[in-house]
Amino acid sequence: MSRYAPEKLVAISRYQNYFPTLPADIQHDIYARIAGLIEEEKKYCDKGNARHMAQILTSIAMYEVLQKHGWSEEDAYKAVSEEMWKFLDPSGMQKLARKRFFLPLMKKIVPFGFRKGSGVGWRYTWHKDDPKDEFHFECNARTSTILL
């Protein structure tokens, strides 16, 4: 379970650039909250879920801890959301998406990658009847559905 050390999860999360800018006491509390979340969600903390859980657990911990340190709910949500999107600069992907080969390649690679890289608790519904210029799927957790 060493890949689930809070420090390792933060280091591979979308907050890896933002986290070091936070005061040391907030960082400490985020690590502690992540440790608690790992314990609460340990049935999902297998090898296949590590990168996915790094995003989820770090987001939750940061959102909760910022509020405990006096941030308003709105400000905590805004910081977590903005920093996540800042890290996910889509400009490179958008340039690739304009290439003729990109979508057909993604339709093959993404299902294979998820089949090999997903852990406990995740099921996917692939929409094979998509038009040629679209690609979508659903990620189904055991108790809820998330449309991507």
Q: 90 by DSSP, 3-state: which?
A: coil
Strand partners, 76: none
CA distances to 27, 38, 88 from 94, in Å: 33, 34, 12
Total residues found in the chain within this entry:
148
Which helix (H) or strand (E) is 37 found in, with range?
helix 24-40
Burial class (CB in 10 A: 0-12, 13-18, 19+), 103: middle
Q: Write the pLDDT tens digit of every residue in 12-21.
A: 999 999 999 9
Mean pLDDT of 24-51: 91
Mean pLDDT of 46-58: 86
pTM over 0.75: no
What is the per-residue pLDDT for 97?
73
What is the per-residue pLDDT for 144?
40
Mean pLDDT of 7-14: 95
Report whether pLDDT(43) > 80.
Answer: yes
Q: Write the pLDDT tens digit of every residue in 62-118.
A: 999 999 999 999 999 999 999 988 887 666 666 777 788 877 887 777 777 776 666
45 in Cβ contact with 53 (< 8 Å): yes
Report whether pLDDT(1) > 60.
Answer: no
Backbone angles phi, psi at 143, to 5 degrees: -115, -5
